[in-house]
Amino acid sequence: MVKVECDLLLTRMFTIIRMFSGVMMEKFTRPDPSSLFAFPVAAAGYPIIAAFAFATGVFALLRLVIPALVGVCFTFFTAYFFRDPDRVVPTASNAVVSPADGKIVIAQRVESSPFYDGPCQKVSIFMSVFNVHVNRIPYEGIVERIAYHPGKYVNASLDKASEDNERNAVFIRTEAGLKYCVVQIAGLVARRIICKIQPDENVRRGMRFGMICFGSRLDVYLPPQTTLNVAVGNKVAAGTSIVGYIA
Report the catalytic residues: 216
10 Å Cβ neighbour count for 130? 12
The full DSSP string for 137-186 is -SS-EEEEEEEEE--B---TTSTTHHHHB-EEEEEEE-TTS-EEEEEEEE
Beta strands in the chain (DSSP E): 28-29, 89-90, 95-97, 102-110, 120-127, 134-136, 141-149, 167-173, 179-186, 193-195, 202-203, 208-212, 216-222, 227-228, 235-236, 242-245
Closest CA to 235 of 52, 107, 85: 107
